[in-house]
Amino acid sequence: DQQVKQNSPSLSVQEGRISILNCDYTNSMFDYFLWYKKYPAEGPTFLISISSIKDKNEDGRFTVFLNKSAKHLSLHIVPSQPGDSAVYFCAASSFHNRKLIWGLGTSLAVNP
């Protein structure tokens, strides 16, 4: 039972355009959501997070939107750059259980 779902295994966009990566969750107890980025042969690195008390968090080119009623979050990258090509993981946790629950990842390719 996948509590955090990233339904698109891969995404390809042109450099300079917007990349939108989606994530759905089923557990209404989740109150903290994170995005990690992973390059081949490296560990995941933290990218951006959002608490359930917010619906948007922005950090430079990266913005995460949270729709609690739909149990959906998305990561927007604007403008996309070739260096953004990586696998992006969505993860969620709850206040009472710090262990992160991970999606399967979306592989983003940004083409020059």
Interacting residue ranges for other proteins, rule: CB under 8 A: 9, 32, 34, 36, 41-46, 49, 89, 93, 98-100, 102-105
Rounded to whole angstroms, the Cα distance separating 86 from 99 reads 24
CB 76 within 8 A of CB 88: no
Q: How far is the CB of 51 from other proteins (least distance, A)?
A: 9
Q: In terms of CB distance, is 38 or 79 closer to other proteins?
A: 38
For residue 53, what is the DSSP state?
A: T
Residue 41, helix vs strand vs coil: coil
Max CA distance (Å), the chain: 44
Q: In terms of CB distance, is 25 or 89 closer to other proteins?
A: 89
Q: How far is the CB of 48 from other proteins (least distance, A)?
A: 10
Q: In terms of CB distance, is 23 or 77 closer to other proteins?
A: 23
CB 70 within 8 A of CB 89: no
CB 27 within 8 A of CB 92: yes
Q: In terms of CB distance, is 18 or 39 closer to other proteins?
A: 39
Q: How far is the CB of 31 from other proteins (least distance, A)?
A: 10
Q: How far is the CB of 46 from other proteins (least distance, A)?
A: 5
